[in-house]
Structure 1
Amino acid sequence: MAAKTQKAWSTQTELGKQFGLTAREVGAYLTELGLKDGPRATERALSADLATERALKDGTPFYVWHTERVTELLTSRGLEPVAAETATSSGGAPSGRQDAPPRPTDGYATVIATDGSALGNPGPTGWAWVDQATGESGAGGLAHGTNNIGELIALREALRHVGPDGDLLVRADSQYVINVVTKWAPGWRRRGWRKGDGKAPENLELVKEILELAESRRGRTDFEWVRGHAGDVHNERADELAVAAARAAAAG
């Protein structure tokens, strides 16, 4: 039987499977090799045909890598491919391993899930963020607040954690927070921090801090709404941390 031809192009996730690495760890090696700069392939990688740009259905760009040549370069860095999987299906035949399709989050250096929770709303309040790639998280609480305040603090602390560099995707189940940053706050600022009815926006100091952090970033900052309590593992984890922080604040 002829040997199976190796796939010509691979995502970082697919390359990582060969070495037992995460997509982010592969990205770090590609950066060391001068093939990647932030979330993008370098001109060197593109001109040498080591990478090429693709786009998801929604137009989000991402890069794929020449499987054979980039695998050789990673091996030259001392990486060793992991043993091939030999698991079998219930019928006894080898189970085929299919490459995972690119995810909408693959084009970002960092993807963060955020959430906030107020017991009683208003009441003791918690906030939390979770880095989807590394599993890092942050959480905290305050004695009195609202769900919206918890959501805003979660975003502020996530932006502080990530810093100004690298393209960032924030995944939140609060349309209020997303609309504040992407739609409403710039208009409030143009009107001297007044809403259309002439009143001052709620949680204004938090909003100003967040807008300053977002606008000072050198990388792109995008937002994605996630339906809460719908099984998204990272959203659920952020919710658990925020609720736990709110309960801790209530216990005093």
Structure 2
Amino acid sequence: MTDERDRPLEPDDERVQEPSASEAIGAALGQAARRAGIDPSEQASTGHVVWRSMGGFRGVLESVLPGLVFIVVFTVTIDPGTGDGDLWLSLTLSVAVAGAFTLVRLITRQPVTAAVGGLVAAVVAAGFALLTGDASNNFVPGFITNAVYGTALLVSALTGWSLIGLAAGFLMGEGTAWRSDRRKRRVYFWLALAWAALFAARLIVQLPLYFAGDVTALGTLKLVMGLPLFAPMLAVTWLAVRALYPRPVE
């Protein structure tokens, strides 16, 4: 008599089934959201979640200050004759600020993911600007990021596989089961479209300034359309997802 443990596993055996692509994407997105402090299953206030996801006061500074330094220094050093600011000084100080944040986190043994991300972004953006000698190219990586994120969210919504739904499904422990619930599918569809619209709005408003070479206005609008728009959008998303999953009665 053959031992059950010696029986070859069939391809469709549940014990060897690999996670589907949608489940893998949902798990990756959900884990990223959880690391950022966004977990709808937690009993936390909306304000607390939004503030934590931005990294608190330090996270806000790490996100805003390098860009702000670049714009301020570039604007202050504009030569009335040429209309150009000091590109090297602006970029050097911007990258130095991002590097200082990373160094402080390393010294204090704090999580460095956000700071390193900001430093890498600052270095890449500076590289674009220095290679071309055009300060406006400092914003090209941001345009690429917005285009990629916006497109991915739009496609996911139109195909019925909302990235917001995939992340929330993982966090709420239901995987892709939300796709069989018409109400959840509708909510996740509109949330994905809303996020896609946010990224599209940034491009629509900022690209004309890029082509016009208006670095000061472009940098200012980038800051205004950054965290000030991200925070309320995140709050709406958090509230909408929480509304789909009633809290257990204690």
* TM-score for the superposition, normalised by structure 1: 0.26
TM-score, structure 2 length as denominator?
0.27
Q: Which has the higher contact order (CA 8 A, sep 6+)?
A: 2
Structure with greater strand percent: 1
